[in-house]
C-alpha cells in the first residue's frame, strides 16, 4: 500500500479541511478586495470592518492602541482582522468537513458582518455592497466544492479505492488553483490601490485656487428646517455616482492635458497648471441623471469651482456650422452638448473643485464638465481630456446610439422627501417637505394634493439660483386612514411639471412623485 492510499488519520483530514477553509475564504476575500478597489475605492469589506471596529471600541481601547502601536495602529488592526478571518476560515473548513452546511453558515455569517460594516460606512457608494456579496458567494461555493473533493480523496472510514490517487491530485490541484487565484487577485488589488493612492496624493497636494467670481451667497432660509429633507448642498460622500467606468480612472494632474479640436479656427492644448491659473468661477449647480426615476435620488447639488467653458471656446473660435461639442473622457466615454449651452452666459464649467475640495476620483479628478440645465449624460463628462467641436449631424455622444435622446434638457421635477412613502403619521397637520428643480429655468411654484383633491401651494424656500434645486414645505391636514399625496412644480416660464407618467428613456422620466402615508 503506497503512502497516498493509506486511510487518512482524523488529524490529517482536519488539517486539510482547515487549509481548504483558508483557501476558499482567502479567495473570496481577495475577490472582494479587488472588486472594491475597482468599483468603490473608498470602501472595501476589510477596511469597512476596520472602520466599524474603530467606531465600536470604547475610547480607552483606542487610546491604548495608539499608545502601544502609534501610527501603526491601523496596520495592526487590519492584521488582527486578517488573523481572525484566517482562524474563522480554518474553522469553517473543519466544520463544513464534519457536517455539510455548517461551514457555509459560518462563512455566510462572516460575510453578513462584512456587508453590514460596508453599509454603515458613510463613504460607501451604491456599488460598495457588490464586494462583500461577491466575496461571500465565492467563499461559499469554493468551500463546498473543495470540501467535496477532500472527502472524495480521503474517506475517513472505508477502504481506499483505485480512484484515490486521482482524487488526491484533483483536490490538491483545486486548492492550488484557488490559492493562486487569491494571490493574483491580491496582487492586482495592490497595483490598483497604488495607482489610486498616487492620484489621491496628487489630489490632496494641490490647493484649490480661490475664485475670481465667488459663489452667490446662500439666501437665509434656503434650507427649510424639517428633518428628513435632503441637505441643500450634497456632501461629496453622499453624492450619487453614475458612469460606465469599471475602473475609476486615475489621472496624474501633471500628465493631464485638455485638447480643443475639430471645427475651430485654433486648436488648443491646455495643461492642468495653465487651467488652474485661469480666473475661476464658483457656482452651486444641481446635476441630475436622465435615469433618475420620479422620486429617485440620482440628483445632487454641489459647489463647483471651475473655468467657464465659454472662455476656452472663445479662444478656440468655433467655425461656422458647428453646433455640438463632443467632450471626451480619458476612458473613451463621450457626451454631446449643444455648442450654445457652452457659449451662452450660463456658467458651464471646466470644474476642478467640488464642495471646497479637489474633485473626488470617482467624480472626475482632475477635471470634469458641469453644465447647468442638462442631464449628466449629455454634459457632465468626468476625467475630461478633449473637447471636439463638431456637428450633431456628424457625431453623437456615448448614449445616443444606445437609445437615448441626442438632446437632454433637464425636465421640471419635484420630490417628497418627508414623510417617506409608507410612513405612519399622527392624524392632524402633517409636515411635508422636499425639493424641486428645473435647472437654468428656475422654480416658481410647488403644489401638493391629497387623494387627488385640489392643489395646495407649498411654501417655497428662496433658491440659491435658477441652476439649483429649491426646498419646499407644507403642512397638510390628514384625517385618519391611508392617503395618497402628490407633488408638482412649475418652472419660471409658468410651465407646470408634466403629469403623464413616462419612463426614463429616452430623455428623462415625467409624472408626479406620489407617496402613500397612513395617518392614525
Ligand X SMILES: Nc1nc2c(c(=O)[nH]1)N[C@H]1C(S)=C(S)[C@@H](COP(=O)(O)O)O[C@H]1N2
Could you tell me if 93 and 18 are in contact, meaning their C-beta atoms sit under 8 angstroms apart? yes
Please say which residue, 150 or 289, places its beta carbon nearer to Mo ion. Answer: 289
382 is in the binding site of which of ligand X, Mo ion, none (Cβ under 5 to 8 A by kind)?
ligand X
Please say which residue, 88 or 369, places its beta carbon nearer to ligand X. Answer: 369
Kindly state the cell numbers that stand for 277.
491659473
Cβ-closest position to Mo ion = 289
Stretch that binds ligand X, among 45-53, 224-232, 239-247, 430-438 (CB under 6 A): 239-247
In angstroms, give the least distance from the CB of 344 to ligand X.
Answer: 21
Virtual torsion, Cα 174, 175, 176, 180, nearest 10 deg = 100
Strands (E), 160-280: 257-262, 268-271
Kindly state the cell numbers that stand for 441.
429655468
365 forms part of the interface with Mo ion (CB under 5 A) = no
Alpha-carbon 124 to chain mean position: 7
Stretch that binds ligand X, among 202-210, 240-248, 337-345, 475-483 (CB under 6 A): 240-248
Cβ neighbour number for residue 78 with a 10 Å cutoff = 15
Give dist(CA 395, CA 393) in Å, integer: 6
Positions 377 through 406 that interact with Mo ion (CB under 5 A): 377
In angstroms, give the least distance from the CB of 504 to ligand X.
Answer: 11
Q: Residue 460, SS3?
A: strand
Number of chain residues interacting with ligand X (CB under 6 A): 18
Torsion sign, CA atoms 316, 322, 325, 330: negative
Stretch that binds Mo ion, among 65-73, 239-247, 441-449, 451-459 (CB under 5 A): 239-247
Positions 241 through 260 that interact with Mo ion (CB under 5 A): 242
- The number of residues in the chain equals 520
In angstroms, give the least distance from the CB of 295 to Mo ion.
Answer: 16
179 forms part of the interface with ligand X (CB under 6 A) = no
In angstroms, give the least distance from the CB of 362 to ligand X.
Answer: 7
In angstroms, give the least distance from the CB of 236 to ligand X.
Answer: 9
Stretch that binds ligand X, among 47-55, 119-127, 242-250, 267-275 (CB under 6 A): 242-250
Letters for 247-286 (x = contact with ligand X by CB under 6 A, - = none) are: ----------------------------------------
Please say which residue, 136 or 291, places its beta carbon nearer to ligand X. Answer: 291
363 forms part of the interface with ligand X (CB under 6 A) = yes
In angstroms, give the least distance from the CB of 301 to ligand X.
Answer: 11
224 forms part of the interface with ligand X (CB under 6 A) = no
244 forms part of the interface with ligand X (CB under 6 A) = yes
Give dist(CA 101, CA 79) in Å, integer: 28
Please say which residue, 115 or 302, places its beta carbon nearer to ligand X. Answer: 302
Give dist(CA 494, CA 504) in Å, integer: 23
Report in angstroms the alpha-carbon separations of 37 from 126, 133, 186, 431. Answer: 14, 15, 10, 42
427 forms part of the interface with Mo ion (CB under 5 A) = no
Torsion sign, CA atoms 460, 464, 465, 468: negative
27 is in the binding site of which of Mo ion, ligand X, none (Cβ under 5 to 8 A by kind)?
none
Q: Residue 489, SS3?
A: strand
Positions 265 through 294 that interact with Mo ion (CB under 5 A): 289
Stretch that binds ligand X, among 4-12, 95-103, 379-387, 437-445 (CB under 6 A): 379-387
- According to DSSP, residue 136 is labeled H
85 is in the binding site of which of ligand X, Mo ion, none (Cβ under 5 to 8 A by kind)?
none
Please say which residue, 136 or 291, places its beta carbon nearer to Mo ion. Answer: 291
DSSP string covering 103-166, please? HHHHHHHHHHHHHHHHHH-TT--GGGGHHHHHHHHHHHHHHHHHHHHHHHH--SSS---TTHHH
Positions 288 through 327 that interact with ligand X (CB under 6 A): 289
46 forms part of the interface with ligand X (CB under 6 A) = no
Report in angstroms the alpha-carbon separations of 363 from 21, 312, 497, 500. Answer: 39, 22, 29, 33
Could you tell me if 349 and 283 are in contact, meaning their C-beta atoms sit under 8 angstroms apart? yes
Report in angstroms the alpha-carbon separations of 180 from 22, 23, 270. Answer: 13, 9, 45
Stretch that binds ligand X, among 157-165, 214-222, 233-241, 434-442 (CB under 6 A): 233-241
In DSSP terms, which residues pair with 284 in a beta bridge? 303
In angstroms, give the least distance from the CB of 378 to Mo ion.
Answer: 9
Contact with Mo ion (CB under 5 A): which of 41, 111, 364, 376?
376
37 forms part of the interface with Mo ion (CB under 5 A) = no
Main-chain phi, psi angles of 113, to 5 degrees: -65, -45
In DSSP terms, which residues pair with 292 in a beta bridge? none
329 is in the binding site of which of Mo ion, ligand X, none (Cβ under 5 to 8 A by kind)?
ligand X
Number of chain residues interacting with Mo ion (CB under 5 A): 4
Give dist(CA 440, CA 426) in Å, integer: 38
Q: Which residue has the cell 487518512?
A: 8
Alpha-carbon 461 to chain mean position: 29
In angstroms, give the least distance from the CB of 398 to ligand X.
Answer: 7
Kindly state the cell numbers that stand for 218.
446662500
Kindly state the cell numbers that stand for 242.
453614475
Stretch that binds ligand X, among 18-26, 194-202, 329-337, 473-481 (CB under 6 A): 329-337
Give dist(CA 256, CA 88) in Å, integer: 46
Half-sphere exposure of 183 (CA within 13 A, CB side): 6
Binding site for Mo ion (CB under 5 A): 242, 289, 376-377
- Contact positions vs ligand X (CB under 6 A): 239-245, 289, 329, 331, 333, 363, 376-377, 380-383
Amino acid at each position: 500500500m503506497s503512502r497516498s492510499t493509506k486511510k487518512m488519520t482524523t488529524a490529517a483530514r482536519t488539517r486539510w479541511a482547515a487549509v481548504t477553509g483558508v483557501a476558499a475564504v482567502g479567495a473570496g476575500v481577495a475577490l472582494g478586495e479587488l472588486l472594491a478597489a475597482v468599483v468603490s475605492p473608498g470602501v472595501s469589506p476589510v477596511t469597512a470592518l476596520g472602520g466599524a471596529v474603530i467606531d465600536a471600541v470604547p475610547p480607552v481601547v483606542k487610546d491604548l492602541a495608539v499608545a502601544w502601536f502609534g501610527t501603526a495602529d491601523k496596520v495592526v488592526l487590519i492584521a488582527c482582522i486578517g488573523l481572525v478571518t484566517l482562524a474563522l476560515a480554518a474553522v469553517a473548513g473543519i466544520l463544513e468537513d464534519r457536517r455539510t452546511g455548517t461551514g457555509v453558515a459560518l462563512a455566510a455569517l462572516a460575510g453578513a458582518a462584512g456587508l453590514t460594516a460596508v453599509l454603515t460606512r458613510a463613504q460607501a457608494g451604491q456599488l460598495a455592497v457588490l464586494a462583500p456579496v461577491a466575496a461571500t458567494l465565492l467563499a461559499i461555493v469554493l468551500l463546498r466544492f473543495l470540501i467535496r473533493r477532500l472527502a472524495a480523496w480521503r474517506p475517513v472510514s472505508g477502504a481506499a479505492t483505485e480512484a484515490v490517487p486521482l482524487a488526491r491530485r484533483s483536490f490538491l490541484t483545486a486548492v492550488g488553483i484557488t490559492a493562486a487565484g487569491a494571490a493574483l487577485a491580491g496582487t492586482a488589488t495592490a497595483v490598483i490601490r497604488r495607482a489610486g493612492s498616487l492620484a489621491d496624493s496628487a489630489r490632496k497636494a494641490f490647493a484649490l485656487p480661490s475664485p475670481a467670481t465667488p459663489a452667490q451667497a446662500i439666501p437665509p432660509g434656503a434650507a427649510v428646517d424639517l428633518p428628513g429633507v435632503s441637505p441643500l448642498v450634497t456632501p461629496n460622500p453622499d453624492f450619487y455616482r453614475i458612469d460606465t467606468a469599471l475602473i475609476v480612472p486615475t489621472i496624474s494632474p501633471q500628465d493631464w492635458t485638455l485638447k480643443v479640436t475639430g471645427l475651430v479656427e485654433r486648436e488648443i492644448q491646455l495643461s492642468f497648471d495653465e487651467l488652474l491659473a485661469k480666473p475661476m468661477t464658483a457656482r452651486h449647480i444641481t446635476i441630475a441623471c436622465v435615469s433618475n426615476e420620479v422620486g429617485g435620488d440620482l440628483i445632487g447639488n454641489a459647489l463647483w469651482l471651475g473655468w467657464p467653458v465659454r472662455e476656452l471656446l472663445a479662444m478656440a473660435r468655433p467655425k461656422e456650422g458647428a453646433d455640438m461639442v463632443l467632450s471626451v473622457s480619458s476612458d473613451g466615454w463621450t457626451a454631446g452638448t449643444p455648442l450654445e449651452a457652452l457659449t451662452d452666459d450660463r456658467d458651464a464649467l471646466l470644474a476642478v473643485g467640488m464642495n471646497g475640495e479637489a474633485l473626488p476620483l470617482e467624480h472626475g479628478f482632475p477635471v470634469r464638465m458641469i453644465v447647468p440645465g442638462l442631464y449628466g449624460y449629455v454634459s457632465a463628462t468626468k476625467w475630461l481630456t478633449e473637447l471636439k467641436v463638431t456637428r450633431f449631424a456628424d457625431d453623437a455622444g456615448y448614449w445616443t446610439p444606445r437609445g437615448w435622446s441626442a438632446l437632454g434638457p433637464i425636465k421640471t421635477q419635484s420630490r417628497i422627501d418627508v414623510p417617506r412613502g409608507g410612513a405612519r403619521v399622527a392624524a392632524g397637520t402633517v409636515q411635508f417637505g422636499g425639493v424641486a428643480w428645473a435647472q437654468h429655468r428656475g422654480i416658481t411654484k410647488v403644489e401638493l394634493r391629497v387623494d387627488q383633491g385640489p392643489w395646495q401651494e407649498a411654501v417655497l424656500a428662496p433658491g440659491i439660483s435658477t441652476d439649483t434645486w429649491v426646498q419646499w414645505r407644507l403642512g397638510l391636514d390628514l384625517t385618519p386612514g391611508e392617503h395618497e399625496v402628490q407633488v408638482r412644480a412649475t418652472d419660471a416660464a409658468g410651465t407646470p411639471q408634466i403629469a403623464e407618467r413616462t419612463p426614463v428613456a429616452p430623455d428623462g422620466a415625467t409624472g408626479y412623485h406620489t407617496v402613500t402615508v397612513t395617518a392614525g
